[in-house]
Amino acid sequence: MSESALDQHECDYRARQLRLGTWIGVGCILIAAVHVQLERYGGPWLVALMVLGGAGQAALAALPWQRYAEARWLPPVMVAWWLANLALLLAFAAYDAAALAVYPAGVTLILVSTAALATERHVIGMGAISIAGYVGLVVAGDRPVTGTLAALCVALMLGVTWFSARTASNRRRLDAARRTAERKVGALLENSSDAVVAIQLDRGVTYASPSVRTVLGYDPAFLTGDLLLDITHPDYLPTGMEWWLAVAEGGPGHTARVESRIRRADGTWVWVEIIGTNRMGEEPLNAAVVSIRDITERKELEEELTRQAFADSLTGMPNRALFRDRLEHAIARNRRGGGRITLLLVDLDDFKLVNDSLGHTAGDQLIATTALRLHQQLRAADTLARLGGDEFAILVEDVTEIEAMDLAERLLAAIRRPLRLGNREVVCSASIGVATAKAGDGDGGPDPGELLRNADLAMYAAKGAGRDRYTLFDPAMYAGILREAEDRAELERALADEQFVIHYQPIVDLPTSRLIGVEALVRWQHPARGLLGPDTFIPLAESTGLIVPLGAWVLRQACEQLARWREEFPDAAAIRVNVNLSPRQFQHEGLVEEVSGILAETGADPHQIVLEITESLLMQDTDSTISTLGRLKALGVRLAIDDFGTGYSSLSYLKRFPVDILKIDRSFVDGITAEGGDATLAEAVVQLGRALQLQTVAEGIETAEQWSTLQDLGCELGQGYLFAKPGAAEAISSILGGDRF
């Protein structure tokens, strides 16, 4: 039984006893008064005395004796009362038997009342004295009526005494149970990790448990009135008030919970969980019961976990998850306010290059510096987050499109400023996609995911348009994406259906124009659009990664073709086949295994295979590139640098790579004979090849003049429309068969 239930039970019980006793007493007095009146004994004054005596008894019984039930002086008072009653009894008996009939009423009243107030010992004591009085009267027996009445009274008193004594003992048991429960609750409250206080609507804190001292450090007696408010952190007052209203107005039994910060007695702030239950209608508490628990430890753990989950470890700024959250909130706010949200997605250009060539530390440094520079351009209310890698997102509210564009310009300018990475000074740029949403765009406002996607599309458009710029999102961009997805699917199908063919372009020995090899150049035999050149699909194959299976297919075809030629033309068995490798294929882990597998399966002689790689590949990720190139070389294949001269490779750079052949880019060959052009550049490239002891192949020779100039410069090999355009394998077969170009 809970404490309050016990209280309630006992209060009810005492009230019932007192009422019962009072009514029995009053009833008996009335009966006796009528009796005396009918028998015409005595006079009106006697009736008045009896009524007064009875009323006095009733009044005494109705007094709130329970308050003094434990008081020391209760037994003496009781004894005095019994003696007074005994005197009264004897006085009445001496006067008349009728008066004696009244007396049991008073005694019954007192006994029943006493049972409610005192112990069974008191009841039995009083009953015994009364019974003794009556027994005395019976024994005295000078008047028969009085004697008979007294005997009846003895029987009545015995019954009433027995009943009242039992009631008193019941009550005592109840008292004992209550005290035990109280002690238990007290101990619980003292040792509990919850501080418990009772708060009344008008008086504030009316009770504070002993554990207030352990939990909050305050003396429980000190925590009165509005003190709970006074020790609440100002930031949490509004939620605190909200909580209190919820408890107070929630009605009986309503419970509400809140987390808040409270100042301990020692001045430190602690996190607390406060749970309040409305017991305001319930006497005698009439208050809200509030338990306060220190949850600082849990809260700190929670915060740490949240920080880890929501912050980017490198820059300490919000990460994608938190940004998403903020974006959702901003959208919700704007749905009400009707404002405008602008999202800027910033992506560094060529970050991978920095990371690969200067190392990860430099990459991290670049990210951190970029974060700082972006941050400097923003207002306090704007949100900057790192979404991952070299991608940042910025959320600004309530700016016009012009202002957003202005901000994008400033961000670009900030990133463009040179910065030191290690002992190098580098200049970086970024591409920015800008997307905005107004409240009311679409039903229920814009969708955060969509807004991010829009900004992403705009950012890619900025990259596509040449980087180092920003682009505003335009719904037409979706059409581009859609087309790309379709193209990709089409390309995949083409690969599965083998819609590709390979054309071969001869590579000749310049002095003799003898065919020494061919370059394999892929074409797409498109079912609807006809034969497509590589420029129309290689970029897409690169960006989608489909270049990996496509490149493998080309290599396999070329190797198989080589085997066929070797069989058909034993004289020309030494010709070589050049196959282009795209940078993306180098990122593919299994490249070397794939090449060696194809060589083994087709039986091609590795020495007849030349793999053409681009200069830009050499600029990337040097260590792993060198190792891959080394492993390819170890297979026996030769390596050529394609489009040489268009990149930035320096002499020292080139020396580090195990290449065999330089293919001089067409632009140099063009330059040789162009109007006012000069041969120095081409000459330099040829000489560089010589210095490095590499074979040189001039690409794109279209005129006899170019041919002879290149020979004069000392270039060994050449390739171009002058000799032959790329053509089907049969065209090469006929050359090998003895036909001239």
Contacts of 473 (CB under 8 A, 6+ apart): 433, 434, 435, 436, 454, 455, 457, 458
| Residue 482 Ramachandran class (φ > 0 left, ψ -120 to 50 alpha, else beta) | alpha
Output 441 or 670, the one with its CB closest to ligand C2E.
670
| CB of 17 or CB of 578, closer to ligand C2E | 578
With CB under 5 to 8 Å by kind, the binding choice for 630 among ligand C2E, Ca ion, none is none
Instruction: Give the nearest distance from C-beta 720 to ligand C2E in angstroms.
Output: 3
Q: Which stretch binds ligand C2E (CB under 6 A): 52-60, 85-93, 534-542, 645-653?
A: 534-542
Are the beta carbons of 640 and 663 closer than 8 angstroms? yes
Tell which one of 391, 594, 643, 716 touches ligand C2E (CB under 6 A). 643
Nearer to Ca ion, 291 or 505 (CB): 505
What residues from 15 to 74 belong to the interface with ligand C2E (CB under 6 A)? Answer: none
CB 658 to ligand C2E: min, Å: 20
Do the beta carbons of residue 177 and residue 185 sit within 8 Å?
Answer: no
The partner residues of 691 in beta bridges, in order of sequence, read none
Helix (H, G, I), strand (E, B) or coil at 46: helix
Binding mask 552-571 for ligand C2E (x = CB under 6 A): --x-----------------
**Whole-number Å distance between alpha carbons of 66 and 64:** 5
Q: Which residue in the set 365, 582, 608, 696 belongs to the binding site for ligand C2E (CB under 6 A)?
A: 582
| Among ligand C2E, Ca ion, none, residue 605 binds (CB under 5-8 Å by kind) | none
Hey, what are 574's tokens?
Answer: 């030494």
Which does residue 125 touch among Ca ion, ligand C2E, none (CB within 5 to 8 A, set by kind)? none
Q: Report the site for ligand C2E in 689-728 (rule: CB under 6 A).
A: 700-702, 719-721, 726
Taking the complex as a whole, the smallest distance from the CB of residue 476 to ligand C2E amounts, in Å, to 29
The verdict on 645 binding ligand C2E (CB under 6 A) reads no
Q: CB of residue 517 vs Ca ion: minimum separation in angstroms?
A: 12
H helix or E strand, kind and range, residue 734: helix 729-736
Q: Which stretch binds ligand C2E (CB under 6 A): 44-52, 510-518, 528-536, 620-628?
A: 528-536
Task: Find where tokens 């909580």 sit.
Answer: 243
Q: Which is nearer to Ca ion, 82 or 644 (CB)?
A: 644
Chain centroid to Cα 299, Å, comes to: 14
Q: What is the Cα–Cα distance from 619 to 609, expressed in whole angstroms?
A: 24
Query: Which residues contact Ca ion by CB under 5 A?
Result: 580, 612, 642-643, 699
Least distance to ligand C2E, CB of residue 580, Å: 4
Minimum distance between the CB of residue 695 and ligand C2E, rounded to whole angstroms? 16
Number of residues that bind ligand C2E (CB under 6 A): 20
Q: Which stretch binds ligand C2E (CB under 6 A): 72-80, 187-195, 393-401, 532-540?
A: 532-540
Q: Which residues contact 403 (CB under 8 A, 6 or more apart)?
A: none
Contact 290, 194 (CB under 8 A): no
To Ca ion, the closest distance from the beta carbon of 663 in angstroms equals 5
Rounded CA gap, 418 and 415, in Å? 8
* 467 neighbors 431 (Cβ within 8 angstroms): yes
Taking each helix axis from N to C terminus, what angle separates 44-62 and 97-117, rounded to the nearest 10 degrees? 10
Q: Are residues 110 and 56 in contact, defined by beta-carbon separation less than 8 angstroms? A: no
Give CA 147 to chain center in angstroms: 92
Rg (CA), the chain: 53
Enumerate binding residues for ligand C2E (CB under 6 A): 505, 521-522, 533-535, 538, 551, 554, 580, 582, 642-643, 700-702, 719-721, 726
